[in-house]
Structure 1
Amino acid sequence: MRKKISSGSTFEQQYAYSRVVVVGDQVLVSGTTGYDYDSMTISDDVVDQTEQCFQNIIQALQTCDSELADVVRIHYILPDKRDFAACAPVLQKHLSEVRPAATMIEAGLLDEAMKIEIEVTAIKKAPKE
């Protein structure tokens, strides 16, 4: 069974994608940027954007009863690879115990204000009895 979850972002409708797709026990979270969707603002600092990415990802995972501890794969996409080192403390904060398989890619993003985009794959744990 395939379940599509939308955050209601105009980007999702405009570009025909879902924030989260759940297939069986797999949770696929689309590339997530550092926009604060409550205020529709984005910081100009890559570290702040990285933290906001994680807050957005946590919220997306929660919509399908999943969490960061379930993440098995992560992709970081940055327009400037030199910014990645500054993000390390935020990555440690959220993933030091999880340690998913990871890839960092240098590529242009949709909006020049975006300094990082993060995509994750999680495997939901079996419910506890």
Structure 2
Amino acid sequence: MPIAEKDRYNLASGSLWEPLRGYSRAVKVGDQLFISGTTAVDQTGEVVGPNDAFEQTRYVIRVINKILREAGFKPTDIVRTRLYVTDMSKWKEYARAHREAFENIRPASSIVQVTKLVDPRLMIEMEAEAVLGSHLVETLKIVYPET
């Protein structure tokens, strides 16, 4: 059976890192959007909120939301986030910023500690995946197996 073809759109932000490393800020395939790892670096190349886990996470989420809008998606379309952090002892700060943005969306999410990011002042890099038009119908309770 042949595989159905889908159009692919690479989204570029103009960052010097994209052509240097050979990647796209985001890739849209059909009704899905895959957003690359995003850090708290502004358009001038400066780190936003150096060594501030909460502020960096908030900034990263703002950038991700901008990418979503430019691709025709909404924050409510996000179905998965991945947080790569350099200091797990600050997990409450990352979580507070994530909850602030996603409390009513509640995407699947992972938080993983890494040794370091490209700049020692960076504390978080975040990826996101979205499905166009997705909306929460209800939250189903998962019953874990007994031990």
TM-score (norm 2): 0.81
Query: 1:42-61 maps to which residues of 2 (within 5 A)?
Result: 42=47, 43-44=49-50, 45-61=52-68
Match of 1:77 among 67, 75, 84: 84
For 2:62, the aligned partner's letter is Q
SS of residue matched to 1:4:
strand
Aligned residues: 125
Cα offset, 1:84, TM superposition: 1.8
Deviations 1:38-58 (A, max 9, x none): x43212111111111011101
Partner residue in 1 for 2:36? 30
- TM superposition shift of 1:89: 2.1
- The CA deviation string for residues 38-95 of structure 1, in whole angstroms up to 9 with x for no partner, is x432121111111110111011111110121100010000011112211222112100
User: Identity over aligned residues, as a percent?
Assistant: 30
SS across alignment from 1:59: helix
Matching of residues 95-106 of structure 1 within 5 Å:
95-106=102-113
User: For the residues of structure 2 that align with 1:113 and 1:12, how far apart are their CA atoms?
Assistant: 20
- Residue in 1 aligned with 2:129? 121
Who is 1:110 aligned against? Answer: 118
Structure 1 letter corresponding to 2:24: S
1:92 counterpart residue number: 99
SS across alignment from 1:99: coil
Match of 2:9 among 3, 13, 16: 3
Among candidates 20, 23, 26, match of residue 17 of structure 1: 23
Q: Could you say what secondary structure the match of 1:74 adopts? A: strand
Over aligned residue pairs, what C-alpha RMSD do you find?
1.3
Structure 1, unaligned runs of 5 or more: none
TM-score by length of 1: 0.91
| 2:69 corresponds to 1:62 | yes
SS of alignment partner, residue 56 of structure 2: helix
